[in-house]
Each structure stands twice: as C-alpha cells, then as structure tokens.
Chains A and B, each alone.
Chain A
C-alpha cells in the first residue's frame, strides 16, 4: 500500500518564527489533506489540497502531486499552533492513509 512520511518528526520554535512541514508519499494520489491535532486532542481539517497552493491566514499549503510531496507553511507561529500536524492521502479511493505526524511546540 501507499506509504506516507512526514518530516521533521518534532519541531520546536519560538513564537513568531516560520516553519515548513513536509509530507512525502510513495504513489499517485487524488486527495491530500492536512490536519492539526491540538494538545487537547481536537482534530481540525486545515486544507484539502490534492494539487496546487492554498492559503488560509498564516497557514498555506502546496502540493506537487507529480513529485509526490506536499508542504505546509506556518508563518509567525503562535503558541496555539502547537500540536501534531498530520497529512493524509487517498490513493484513488483504495486507501486513506495518514502520515505519522509532525509534533510542533511553539514556545512563548
């Protein structure tokens, strides 16, 4: 089945810093989503982005499907950005696979 990797596994930032999270996948996909799980366990869908670039406030994401990766950019990070960021891909309806996540800690 399709493999999904995320890097880095852990990231510690000072408030105000920018960061880039990466998601690599091993096969063609027709759907890719980014999620944020906050320290209280709540899961939030950030982006549905099978290709191209989207922006939502301080967050933006880019997926280059032909090269099998996606990037999540966080600018001017805040402590509320802390948590685990997951990407998940769908392989033409056959699988919906999550990556292992990137744990982000933003320090005040």
Chain B
C-alpha cells in the first residue's frame, strides 16, 4: 500500500496553462505539506494544512492555491504557469502539525513548463 501518493508523476505543459497536482495519504495523519524542489535541488516548504486548515503559507505566488477537501487529500492548483514553476513538487504528511515529527513523502511530481 502506498502511504503518500501523488498524481501525475510527470507533467509537461505550456506557459500560461492551469494545472493541478493531487496528493493523497492513507496514514491517517492530520497534517499535509507541499514542497518545491528546484533544478539545483534546493527544497522549500510551500504550504502546510492541518485537518483541512491552512497552517503555513510561505511566500508563494498567489497563482498557487492548495485545496484540502478532507484531511487525507491536499491538492495543488497552479494558474497561469510560468517557466520558473518548473520543478519537482513533493507532497508529505505527518501525524502532528507544526513540523514537529516525522514526515512521509510522496514520490514527487516533475513539472516542466515549456
């Protein structure tokens, strides 16, 4: 059983398009996260949700909008995609919030904007 899954694994799209990445966890965790890893492997947290409530919202363009329909799902919608959005996006989950415990990561979604 996959603990944290993301779809799609690869996403290639044109500049200006709108796209979504889906994330689901079957661990029963309360908190979910989105991270971005750029081409230089630099990792940065984007969002954190605890029980469907936004907890952390780092400095991210408002073209990025997370949506959590329930605590097992945290989707990432990106409007008006730009070249600089090309990156690998990781979803993660943890039992507690506040980045206080072990996080389990999804396999990542490699987004390429042409």
Interface residues of chain A, those whose CB is within 8 Å of chain B, are: 31, 33, 37, 41-45, 48, 84, 86, 88, 90, 93, 96, 98, 100-101
Contacts and interface: CB of A to CB of B under 8 A. Distances in A.
B95 to A, nearest CB: 11
A84 B41 contact: yes
A41 B109 CA distance: 10
A86 B102 CA distance: 14
Contacts of A93: 98-99
B31 to A, nearest CB: 12
B107 to A, nearest CB: 6
A96 B45 contact: yes
Interface of B: 41-45, 56, 88, 90, 92, 98-105, 107-108
Contact of A98 (B44, B56, B98, B103): B44
A88 B98 contact: no
A43 B102 contact: no
Contact of B107 (A31, A33, A42, A100): A42
A45 B4 CA distance: 13
B102 A48 contact: yes
In this complex, the member of A31, A37, A41, A43 whose beta carbon has the largest number of chain B beta carbons within 10 angstroms is: A43
Nearest to A43: B105
Nearest to A42: B107
Contacts of B103: 33, 45
A90 B43 contact: no
B90 to A, nearest CB: 6
Contacts of B107: 41-42
A51 B2 CA distance: 31
In this complex, the member of B43, B92, B100, B103 whose beta carbon has the largest number of chain A beta carbons within 10 angstroms is: B43
Given A86-B43, A96-B56, A98-B44, A44 B99 contact: no
Contacts of B45: 96, 98
A44 B105 contact: yes
Contact of B88 (A31, A41, A88): A41
